[in-house]
Structure 1
Amino acid sequence: MADMNMDILRIRSQKPVFPAHPVRSGNVSTAVESPAFANLFDEAKNRVAFSEHAKARMEARHIDFSEEDLTKLDATVGKMAEKGAKEALILLNDVALVVSIKNRTVITAMDGKNAKDNIFTNIDSAAIV
């Protein structure tokens, strides 16, 4: 155990390694400007993220979404953003999601059983998908 702690301390004390000279390889702008990259970047940018809190709640409550569900969620958040929503309650497949529309982030999630008799505050919009 002591040896492992010494190894950890040794690793932490090492300085980061940086190249002595800038690394140049080919025409970087071609790769960045390619349509495939642009499409992937746009898709990633438009994807809704899940906060650590939401991830923990979903795992504890056994909530899973299909790729189709996530696409619906992304589209719904996009429509709500266009209408000026800031914080929303989205009901998707018997799951209540509190979402920061501005940040495109699910704040918390609960299934229908846990959502029953709850009061949701600090939301300005709602959507049933």
Structure 2
Amino acid sequence: MQQRINAHRSGVVAPSRQTGQVSGGQQVGKSTDTPAFSQILSTKLESEVRFSSHASTRLKSRNIDITPEIMGKLERAVSGAASKGAKDSLILMKDLAFIVNIPNRTVITAMDGEKLKENVFTNIDSAVIAD
């Protein structure tokens, strides 16, 4: 039996009744090579460490400057804690400490050397020394 392709005068192939298909079974409108926007967005959001408003306030009030080097160490430490199943971690670097919610990849608070000596850390399930 011979399959017929209905073509309009414009030369456009008329789609069959199945969504996303033209006569002959060819897929249209979808590329399997490129990831969906939602996948790209979630991957990007999962890879970056964010700072809560409280942490941002603490950084400003304590004059803590987050350099790209510190940010890189922080991101590696968060990824390491996540791979071990941590939920809330204390991340220590030289004279800095961060409390991070690992599943959300969000820094909850930050402190420098002087405040480190005065603190007792509670409600954490892990500690990472990122130096």
CA separation in 1, counterparts of 2:96 and 2:30? Answer: 43
1:68 offset after TM fit, Å? Answer: 1.8
Aligned to 2:85: 84
The structure where helix makes up a greater share of residues is 1
TM-score of the pair, normalised by structure 1: 0.67
Question: Structure 1 residue 114 and structure 2 residue 112: aligned?
Answer: no
Note closer, same or farther for the CA distance 1:43–1:66 as it changes in structure 2 (3 Å cut). Answer: farther
CA separation in 1, counterparts of 2:89 and 2:42? Answer: 25
**Deviant stretches of 4+, over 4 Å:** 38-41
Aligned to 2:75: 74
What is the alpha-carbon root mean square deviation over aligned residues? Answer: 2.8
| Secondary structure at 1:107 match in 2 | strand
Percentage of matched positions with identical amino acids: 47
* Greater CA drift, 67-76 or 98-107: 67-76
Gaps of 5+ in 2: 1-28
Greater C-alpha Rg: 2
CA separation in 2, counterparts of 1:42 and 1:69? Answer: 21
Aligned to 1:19: none
TM-score of the pair, normalised by structure 2: 0.66
1:41 offset after TM fit, Å? Answer: 7.0
1:40 offset after TM fit, Å? Answer: 8.6
Higher relative contact order (CA 8 A, sep 6+): 1
Q: Tell me the alpha carbon deviations over residues 92-124 of structure 1, each in whole angstroms, 9 at most, x when there is no partner.
A: 231110000111000000101012121010001
Aligned residues: 101
Gaps of 5+ in 1: 1-27
CA separation in 1, counterparts of 2:30 and 2:105? Answer: 29
Aligned to 1:52: 53
1:42 offset after TM fit, Å? Answer: 3.7
* Greater CA drift, 66-75 or 56-65: 66-75
